[in-house]
Amino acid sequence: DQQVKQNSPSLSVQEGRISILNCDYTNSMFDYFLWYKKYPAEGPTFLISISSIKDKNEDGRFTVFLNKSAKHLSLHIVPSQPGDSAVYFCAGFKNTGNQFYFGTGTSLTVIP
Amino acid sequence: KAGVTQTPRYLIKTRGQQVTLSCSPISGHRSVSWYQQTPGQGLQFLFEYFSETQRNKGNFPGRFSGRQFSNSRSEMNVSTLELGDSALYLCASSLEGSNQPQHFGDGTRLSIL
């Protein structure tokens, strides 16, 4: 049962434009959401997080938006840079279960 | 500060064999989690260890097991290997577990022939 879903396996964006990566979840009990970035042959690295009581969190070029009524979150990267090309995973966390639930990932390609 | 170290980086086994993967967490981190990554499946949670105790377990068969030592290092064992076990196995550590972001190792690529 995939509780966190990333329905777009890939995304291509021109350098300097906005990249929007989307994530949907089915479990309204998540307390916390995170985004990770993964380069080939490396482990995922933490990017940004958001508490379920917030609707926006910003860190430099990265902003995560949370729409609880739609059970949807998105990661905005502005402006996109070629170094942002990677696979992005979203994850949800439940305090009661003490477990992260990851999506299947979206491969972002930023075209110079 | 050294990151999470996983050994070996690559491993080739045949069906029916067993394998042990190792993970050394960041110094001071007591929570270690294991994940399996396969194409199209994302990161599937295997189990989490905290202070030598398995605190949480994902939906994997009993062929997958693990343990954690007093220095927080962890091992994962897979017995009676199947072709479908071919995957990237990732280990992640955090200070206390809970909702703290996890720090991942670079993984062990396991191939079953």
- What local confidence, expressed as pLDDT, does residue A72 receive? 97
- What local confidence, expressed as pLDDT, does residue A98 receive? 73
pLDDT band at B98 (very low <50, low <70, confident <90, very high): low
Beta strands in chain A (DSSP E): 4-5, 10-14, 19-25, 32-38, 45-51, 56-59, 62-67, 72-77, 86-94, 99-102, 106-111
Partners of A98 on chain B (C-beta within 8 Å) are 48, 55-56, 97-98
Please answer yes or no on whether A43 and B42 come within 8 Å at the CB atom: no
User: Could you tell me if A106 and A11 are in contact, meaning their C-beta atoms sit under 8 angstroms apart?
Assistant: yes
Mean pLDDT in each 10-residue stretch from start to end of chain A (112 residues)? 89 97 93 94 93 96 97 97 96 83 94 96
Mean pLDDT of all residues in chain B? Answer: 93
pLDDT at B95 over 90: no
Per cent of chain A over pLDDT 70 is 98
pLDDT at B97 over 70: no
A89 interface with B at CB cutoff 8 Å = yes
Q: How far apart are CA A7 and CA B101, in angstroms?
A: 23
- What's the Cα-to-Cα distance from B55 to each of A62, B1, B66, rounded to whole Å? 33, 26, 11
pLDDT digit string, tens, across residues B12-62? 999 999 999 999 999 999 999 999 998 777 899 999 999 999 988 999 999
- CA B32 from chain center: how many Å? 8
- What local confidence, expressed as pLDDT, does residue B1 receive? 58
Using CB atoms, which residue from B41, B45, B103 is nearest to A100?
B45
Per cent of chain B over pLDDT 90 is 81
Nearest CA in chain B to A5: B42
Q: How far apart are CA B96 and CA A106, in angstroms?
A: 29
A49 interface with B at CB cutoff 8 Å = yes
- What local confidence, expressed as pLDDT, does residue A95 receive? 79
pLDDT digit string, tens, across residues A9-37? 999 999 999 999 999 999 888 999 999 99
A31 interface with B at CB cutoff 8 Å = yes
Q: Determine the residue type at A64.
A: V
Q: How far apart are CA A70 and CA A18, in angstroms?
A: 22
Radius of gyration of chain B (CA): 13
The enclosing H or E element of B53 equals strand B53-57
- What's the Cα-to-Cα distance from A59 to each of A2, B76, B104, rounded to whole Å? 28, 35, 21
Nearest CA in chain A to B33: A99
